[in-house]
Amino acid sequence: MIYKLTLEYDGSGFHGWQAQPGRRTVEGEVRRALEVVTRQRSRLVAAGRTDAGAHALGQVVGVALELAPDLKRLQRSLNGLLPPEIAVVGVEEVAPTFHARFSARRRHYRYLVENRGVRPALLQGRAWHVRPTLDRTAMRAAASALTGRHDLGQFGKDPAGRSTVRSLERLEIRRVRGDADGDLIAFHFTADAFLYGMVRRMVGFLAEVGLGLRDSGEAALAAAGETIRPARVAPACGLYQLRVEYPEVA
């Protein structure tokens, strides 16, 4: 039987999602807790592999278990064993054909930028601190040019070397809050799939536009397949995997 786990985690203290020998990872902690609770060895398949320091509000993980558990008890037991930075927010049985990665139809990410002169305290490790004022109008113009179906290979890579064409359905830049000292800015991304490093490199590119370090017109050039100067990579601390959409019948 296949089960779908939905996880929330603060990635600050982990070396990313994927299990690595000798390193503390989200996958390693979840697998360890599952094996204690179910007394079964399990292979986890995640919708995506988050980077070291990145966070998740709706990471989806598929796992096959030989014995059918009581789902509410399984959730309670896992949350009792997992470290406080990880929570299982949902457990459900799904169809045998379900695959956390390949069954996904749409993925949503958010990136937070604390745009103010004073360093953050509450959002330390949870947002990218950019001191100079960002030009949101210029960033939005660039974001609009990147939206749609394009070869986005200049902003990321496919680990398996496959096509780098992606459908970026939404790239929205919103001021979440602001005052005389500065703004908290959220970048919302929705796509059919993401390239490795794509969100962080796009945010880095847009920040350079907002700082006047490059022209917003470069976004249209990149979307058209023309080579541009490599964009900086925004730090992982501001990245949040929000949720993954699946067909009603997976």
Q: Please work out, in degrees rounded to the nearest 5, the angle formed at the alpha carbon of residue 141 by the alpha carbons of 139 and 143.
A: 70
Q: In Å, what is the CA distance from 50 to each residue of 61, 103, 114, 121, 196?
A: 12, 18, 21, 24, 9
40 CB-side CA count, 13 A: 13
Give me Rg for the CA atoms of the chain. 19
Q: How far apart are the first and last CA of the chain?
A: 14
Q: Are 199 and 111 in contact (CB under 8 A)?
A: yes
The set of residues, in sequence order, having a beta carbon less than 8 Å from that of 55 and lying 6+ positions away, is 9, 10, 11, 12, 126, 239, 240, 241
- Rounded CA-CA distance 114/207 in Å is 12
165-179/182-191 β-pairing = antiparallel
Q: What are the φ and ψ backbone dihedral angles of 114, each rounded to 5 degrees?
A: -90, 105
**Catalytic site residue from 51, 158, 183, 192:** 51
| Whether 51 is catalytic | yes
174: its two tokens: 């919103």
Catalytic residues: 51
